[in-house]
Amino acid sequence: MEIRTLKSEEFDAMIELGQYAFQYRMPADKKEQARKRFKPENTWGIFDEEGRLGAKLGLLLADVFVNGRKIPMAGIGGVATWPEYRRQGLVKQLLTHSLQVMNESGRLISMLHPFSFPFYRKFGWEMFSEYKKYVIPTEKLPAKLLTKGTVRRNIRDIPVLNRVYEAYAVRFNGMMLRSEERWKSSILEDEDQTAVYYSPSGDPEGYLLYKVEKNEFLVEEFICLNEEAKAALWTFIGNHDSMVTQVVLNQMPANDGLTYTLADPRITQEIIPYGMTRIVNLPGFIEALDYEGSGEVESWTIQVSDPYAPWNEGTWHWKISPLGEAKIKPAEQEEEAQLQCDIQTLTTLLLGYKRPAELWKMGRLTGESEAVTRLEYAIPLEQTFLLDHF
């Protein structure tokens, strides 16, 4: 079997496999648009001796926010195998190869949306985010309030939307930065409606992406930079109460506090596990982040296991300066590890999805309690969230 990037002329073979595996048909116009966007250098396949495509995956290269910094990420998507090639380890080979490619190209972490959490956990990815979904009868919506700004409907100016989006996204660990191409091809669907809140000074400070159909107001993105924008957009939603019987907020941060603000908080809400991530380059990722400085040098010796990215394996000496800057290097042979974990645990710890003390109680992080306590103070308190799908 040969692993290589696809060629331009293999686009149709890739689409055919994707349609079969994910059970959909792509209309001709959408297929031609996808052909124009196709980046064969970011699509990897595994081919049999006769040159037939057996399995494939795509890499989405983008930056994500972590602790307010932009971190180079590679998203994995479109993983598919023809049934006659399944159970032969092809996806395992592709994932292992893609980790090498990501590491060599400077990507520090990788994200994906799993068909199976247990499957991808075997290769070092771990759940790092979840979201809330609300279903709210119109009679239980937040009260309509008079605000000083203005809500304008059908704003499709990408720089305006992206300006609000990035100011919101930087507040969360894991949110992707979006290119103009991504807005056009993946975010702003033809049937989507938009509403943007502008402050009295004319600054955009919030927006909705939504649909109104079958007596339902479906919100795909509810992005607000302050309470004034949130109140104005809730009032805009509430003004549809003669048209709809319920409002669905499809994807809100796990720490969203909507129910506390409602007069009657007994609404339907779900917490849904969403994205997975893993560290690709351990020293690069650790040194790229900001930490809470204690005013003095803090250090740990940590042993990490990562069989599918062996460059991350081993015992590391990790130091954080008084100002919160990190340096990490392989530990000396005589240094004993104060802490031990696998790459999945270290990933969720650094992203802020789980705290060091919590992971220690679970037995996922083992070692000296005093070292865990110091690490607890060093890792910033941040909320994880991911809106995009790929």
Q: Of 230, 245, 272, which closes a domain?
A: 272
**349 close to 127: Cβ distance less than 8 angstroms:** no
For 149, residues 6+ apart whose C-beta sits below 8 A from its C-beta are 197, 198, 199, 200, 205, 228, 229, 232
State the burial class of residue 240 (Cβ atoms within 10 Å of its Cβ: 0-12, 13-18, 19+).
middle
**37 close to 185: Cβ distance less than 8 angstroms:** yes
Percent of the chain at pLDDT above 90? 96
The residue among 348, 311, 304, 362 whose CA lies nearest residue 111 is: 348
How many folded domains does the chain comprise? 3
For the domain that residue 328 is a member of, what is the CATH number? Answer: 3.30.1050.10
The residue among 159, 233, 239, 165 whose CA lies nearest residue 195 is: 233
Kind and range of the H or E run holding 59: strand 53-66
pLDDT of 75 > 90? The answer is: yes
Say if residue 62 is in the same domain as residue 153. no
- 126 is a domain residue: no
- 307 is a domain residue: yes
CA–CA separation, 163 vs 387, rounded Å?
Answer: 16
Say if residue 265 is in the same domain as residue 294. no
- 117 is a domain residue: no
- 123 is a domain residue: no
- 119 is a domain residue: no
For 24, residues 6+ apart whose C-beta sits below 8 A from its C-beta are none
What's the pLDDT at 1? 86
Note the pTM of the prediction, 2 decimals. Answer: 0.94
Residue keyed to tokens 């000074």: 201
Average pLDDT over residues 98-110: 97
Kind and range of the H or E run holding 279: strand 276-279
Say if residue 265 is in the same domain as residue 284. no
- 390 is a domain residue: no
Say if residue 302 is in the same domain as residue 261. no
**CA-CA distances (angstroms) from residue 48 to 1, 17, 53, 90, 201?**
5, 15, 7, 10, 62
Q: Of 223, 256, 272, which closes a domain?
A: 272
Q: Which domain holds residue 62?
A: 2-107
For the domain that residue 197 is a member of, what is the CATH number? Answer: 3.40.630.30
Say if residue 263 is in the same domain as residue 137. yes
Instruction: Specify the range with the lowest mean pLDDT, choosing from 23-27, 213-217, 261-265.
Output: 23-27
Of 390 and 216, the structure prediction assigns the larger pLDDT to 216
Say if residue 182 is in the same domain as residue 307. no
The residue among 190, 201, 204, 213 whose CA lies nearest residue 152 is: 204
What's the pLDDT at 12? 94
Residues 112-150: pLDDT tens digits? 999 999 999 999 999 999 999 999 999 999 999 999 999
Give the angle 316-317-319 at the CA atoms, nearest 5°: 135
- 112 is a domain residue: no
Average pLDDT over residues 206-228: 97
Say if residue 137 is in the same domain as residue 258. yes
Tokens of 308: 């599918």
Split at pLDDT 50, 70, 90, the class of 190 is confident
Query: How is 300-328 classified by DSSP, letter by letter?
Result: EEEEEE-TTSGGG-EEEEEEE-TTSBEEE
The three-class DSSP label of residue 185 is helix
Residue keyed to tokens 């992080």: 365
CA–CA separation, 62 vs 71, rounded Å?
Answer: 8
The residue among 152, 101, 60, 118 whose CA lies nearest residue 386 is: 60
Average pLDDT over residues 98-123: 97
Say if residue 202 is in the same domain as residue 256. yes
CA–CA separation, 261 vs 381, rounded Å?
Answer: 23
What's the pLDDT at 191? 81
Say if residue 254 is in the same domain as residue 290. no
Average pLDDT over residues 99-120: 97
Residue keyed to tokens 């930490």: 291
What's the pLDDT at 189? 84
Percent of the chain at pLDDT above 70? 100
Residue keyed to tokens 């800057």: 325
The residue among 269, 238, 268, 218 whose CA lies nearest residue 143 is: 238
Say if residue 267 is in the same domain as residue 295. no
Say if residue 264 is in the same domain as residue 214. yes
Q: Of 107, 140, 170, which closes a domain?
A: 107
CA–CA separation, 247 vs 240, rounded Å?
Answer: 10
Average pLDDT score, the chain: 96
pLDDT of 164 > 90? The answer is: yes
- 118 is a domain residue: no
CA–CA separation, 320 vs 292, rounded Å?
Answer: 9
Alpha-carbon dihedral of residues 33, 35, 40, 44, nearest 10 degrees? 90
Say if residue 94 is in the same domain as residue 148. no
pLDDT of 210 > 90? The answer is: yes
Split at pLDDT 50, 70, 90, the class of 360 is very high
